[in-house]
Amino acid sequence: MKVAIIGTGYVGLPTGVGLAELGHEVICIDRELAKIEKLQAGKVTLYEEGLEDLLRKNFQAGQIKFTTDLSEGVKDAQVVVLAVGTPPHPVTHEADMRYVYEAATELVSCLQNNEYTVIANKSTVPVGTGDMVQNLIAKNNQHINFDVVSLPEFLREGYAVHDFFHPNRIVIGADTERAKQVICDLYKPLLQHNPQCTLLCVNRRSSETIKYASNSFLAAKIQFINEMADFCECVGADINEVAQGMGLDARIGKSFLQPGPGFGGSCFPKDTMALDFMARQNNIDLSLVRATIEGNRKRINSMATRVLDAVAYDVTVPCIGVLGLAFKNGTDDCRVSPAMQILQKILQQNSKCILRVFDPEAIENARMLLQAYPQYNTRVTFCNNAIDVCMGADVLTVLTEWPEFSNLDLQHAAKIMRHLYIVDCRNMLSAEQAIKLGFSYRGIGI
Ligand code: UGA
C-alpha cells in the first residue's frame, strides 16, 4: 500500500520505518528541511534503538522516502497518517491542535479528485477531533473521497521499534466499514506474525478516548506506587518487595510499579492534563486524574528537596553529581523530564549549588533546553561519563533509570567524592555496597 506520514517525530518516524519494513511504500513528510535532509542521508533525527539500521535498509531498498512537500507526499496515498505534535497549551493545558488543523487544511487542496484515501490520526487528540477533521475537509471540498479514522499509537519511546513489531493491540476507530478494511489491510503483515495481538475496532470517539484513558491509568499507577513508596519509608517496609507482591496478582500486573522521581515525557503529563481539561469542559470531575497530576507535581518538588537535604550542613557551595537527564532510559528525550525539572528546582532552591551531570544519550538535548536559562549555564558541567560526575561531589543522585548506572564503580566514586551521600531516585545502585563503602544511602521507598 502507498502510505504518507505527516510528521517525523517520535511517533511518525518509527511508524513510517515500521510500515516500510512491512512492505508498504512509505513517504514521510515534514516541514523542517534540516530534518528531511538528515533522513535522506540515512541518519535518524531522534534516538531509538535499531531505528537507524532499519531506516537505511528501507531507504536503500526504495521502500521509504522523505519530503517537505505535502502535496507530493500525499499524491496517490491510500492512507495518510497524521503524526503531528499536540503540545499542551501553556495556560489551559488543553491539547494545542494547531498542527492537526494545519495539516487537515492543507490536505483539502492536496487530495483533490483523489481515489479513496483514509486519513488516519495517530496524534493524541481531544475526543471529537476525528469529526472535526472529517467536517473540515468535507466542508471545504466535496470532491475528496475520504474517511477519517482514529488510530491511536501505544509505542513507548526508547522501545519504539520493538513495540511497533510486537504490539499487544491495534485500536481502529472507524465509523465506516470501508475505512476499517483499509487499516486492517495495512496491518495485515504485522498481525500475521503476532497472533497474540488483538485488533480492536471501535467507534472513532471510543478510540480517541482509549488513548487518553490508557495513558492516564498508567500515570495513576505510577503515582500510586510513588505514594506507597513514601508510605514504605515511614513504616519500614520495602517498596520493591511490596511491588513484587502486588504485581503477582494478574489483576494488578507487575509493570508500571517501579517507583521513581515522578513520571515525565511528552505523553503522560500532557495527556493527563488534556483529559482533565476535557472532563472539566463536560462538567465531569475526574478526581483520580487530577490527584495524579497534582501528586506528580509535588513529587518532583519533594525529590529536589530530598537531594538538597542530603548536602552536609557545613558545605557552602554544594556540588551535586547527577546521573540521568532523559525522562526515562532508552531515549534522548528531555521534554518534561523529571530529571531536568529536579535539576532546575535544585538550581533555584540553592543559588550557590553547582551540578555535574551525565546522560548516555540526552546530553545534547539537555544542553539545548538549558540554553533557555542562561543564568544556570555556568553552574552546570556536562561530564563525559558516569564516574566523572562524582568528582568533588557532595551528593550523588540518580534521576533516570539507565541500566548501566547500576554498574557504577562505587569504590571509585567513594574515592573522588567530597562527601559520601547518595540519593538514588531510581533504586539503581546497590544500597548494601554503598553502605559498606561508607556512603549514606537514600533510595525510594526502602
Ligand atoms: C507512554 C506509554 O507507555 C505508551 O504506551 C504511549 O504510546 C506513549 O506514552 C505515548 O502516548 O506516546 P512513554 O512516554 O514513551 O510511553 O514512556 P513510559 O515508558 O510510559 O514512561 C513514562 C514515564 O513514567 C517515565 O518518566 C518513566 O520513567 C516513568 N515510569 C514508568 C515510572 O516512574 N515507573 C514505571 O514503573 C514506569
As a whole number, the mean pLDDT across the chain is: 96
CA–centroid distance, 267 to ligand 1, in Å, is: 7
Whether the CB of 154 sits within 6 Å of ligand 1: yes
pTM above 0.85, yes or no: yes
Q: What is the DSSP string of 39-81?
A: HHTT--SS--TTHHHHHHHHHHTTSEEEES-HHHHHTT-SEEE
Closest residue CA from atom 12 of ligand 1: 267
Residue 425: active-site member: no
CA–centroid distance, 76 to ligand 1, in Å, is: 36
Q: What is the pLDDT of residue 114?
A: 84
Task: Choose the weakest-confidence range: 137-146, 396-405, 431-440.
Answer: 137-146
Rounded CA-CA distance 13/38 in Å is: 13
Using alpha carbons, select from 300, 378, 383 the residue that is nearest to residue 340: 300
Q: What is the pLDDT of residue 372?
A: 86
Helix axis angle for 204-235 and 287-309, nearest 10°, is 40
Task: Choose the weakest-confidence range: 83-92, 220-229, 388-397.
Answer: 83-92
Q: What is the pLDDT of residue 98?
A: 94
Rounded CA-CA distance 3/28 in Å is: 8
Each residue's pLDDT tens digit, 42-61: 999 998 999 999 999 999 99
Confidence of residue 89 (pLDDT cuts 50, 70, 90): confident
* 3-class SS of residue 385: coil
Q: What is the pLDDT of residue 408?
A: 98
Each residue's pLDDT tens digit, 432-442: 999 999 999 99
Q: What is the pLDDT of residue 93?
A: 84
Q: What is the pLDDT of residue 374?
A: 85
Q: What is the pLDDT of residue 377?
A: 83
Q: What is the pLDDT of residue 91?
A: 86
Residue 128 has pLDDT above 90, yes or no: yes
Q: Work out whether strand 395-398 and strand 319-323 pair parallel, antiparallel, or are unpaired.
A: parallel
**Side chain identity, residue 387:** I
Whether the CB of 328 sits within 6 Å of ligand 1: yes
Pocket test for ligand 1, best of 15, 166, 239, 263 (most atoms within 8 A of CB): 263
Choosing from 267, 334, 383, 390, the catalytic residue is 267
Whether the CB of 264 sits within 6 Å of ligand 1: yes
Confidence of residue 150 (pLDDT cuts 50, 70, 90): very high
Residue 84 has pLDDT above 90, yes or no: yes
Q: What is the pLDDT of residue 443?
A: 98
Q: Which residues contact 430 (CB under 8 A, 6 or more apart)?
A: 406, 410
Each residue's pLDDT tens digit, 91-109: 888 889 999 999 999 999 9
Each residue's pLDDT tens digit, 291-313: 999 999 999 999 999 999 999 99
Closest residue CA from atom 5 of ligand 1: 154
Pocket test for ligand 1, best of 157, 323, 428 (most atoms within 8 A of CB): 157
Q: What is the pLDDT of residue 241?
A: 98
